[in-house]
């Protein structure tokens, strides 16, 4: 609330709920991003410390477990499969009609809400919902036809 009153006190009252929601979302995301970065460094440094610090021949890098950023295995077949799936998704998105692609990317890639997407596209919120729904159904059908389930 303080950020809203400090930075947007001159805005019309109709815009304040949307601004407050966006400020709240951004603040929450920033908090969790900072926590993730901090915990990553703590985890990395704690994993370098061995159980027996007396051992001089021990290589700290041998104890460090490599974790994937997105849960996909780091084996070459897993990376290849991930690359193929991403390629199929990109190709399917490129085949969408322009308005559906625009609505889909703004809503799900840029994380705009329905009102922001409608303002950016210059259409109604109902049109945004329709375009997004059609895009999601088309993408799901295209990927299912290729045997990809997410």
Q: For residue range 83-132, list pLDDT tens digits in order.
A: 888 888 889 999 999 999 999 999 988 889 999 999 999 999 999 999 99
In the prediction, which pLDDT does 47 show? 52
Domain ranges of the chain: 1-51+59-65, 71-150
Predicted TM-score (pTM) above 0.95: no
Q: Torsions phi, psi of 93, nearest 5?
A: -65, -40
pLDDT for the residue numbered 131 = 94
Q: 131 burial class (0-12, 13-18, 19+ CB within 10 angstroms)?
A: buried
Provide the percentage of residues in the chain whose pLDDT is more than 90: 27
Return the pLDDT at 122.
94
d(CA 33, CA 44): 17
For residues 89 and 83, what is the distance between their CA atoms, to the nearest angstrom? 10
Which tens digit of pLDDT belongs to each residue from 26-35?
888 988 888 8
Distance CA 11, CA 7 (A): 9
Question: Exposed (0-12), middle (13-18) or buried (19+): which is 100, by Cβ within 10 Å?
Answer: buried
| 21-67 per-position pLDDT tens digit | 988 898 889 888 888 777 766 565 555 555 555 555 555 555 545 55
- Tell me if residue 48 falls in helix, strand or coil: helix
Which CATH architecture fits 71-150?
A: Orthogonal Bundle (1.10)
Find the helix packing angle between 114-121 and 125-145, rounded to 10°: 100
């Amino acid at each position: 609330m303080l950020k809203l009153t400090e930075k947007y006190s001159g805005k019309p009252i109709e815009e304040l709920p949307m601004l407050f929601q966006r400020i709240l979302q951004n603040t929450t995301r920033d908090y969790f991003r900072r926590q993730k970065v901090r915990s990553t460094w703590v985890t990395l440094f704690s994993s370098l410390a061995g159980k027996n610090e007396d051992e001089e021949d021990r290589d700290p890098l041998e104890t460090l477990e490599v974790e994937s950023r997105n849960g996909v295995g780091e084996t070459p077949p897993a990376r290849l499969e991930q690359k193929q799936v991403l390629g199929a998704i990109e190709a399917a998105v490129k085949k969408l009609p322009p308005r559906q692609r625009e609505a889909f990317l703004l809503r799900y890639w840029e994380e705009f809400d329905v009102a922001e997407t409608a303002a950016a596209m210059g259409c109604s919120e109902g049109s945004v919902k329709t375009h997004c729904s059609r895009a999601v159904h088309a993408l799901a059908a295209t990927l299912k036809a290729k045997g990809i389930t997410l």
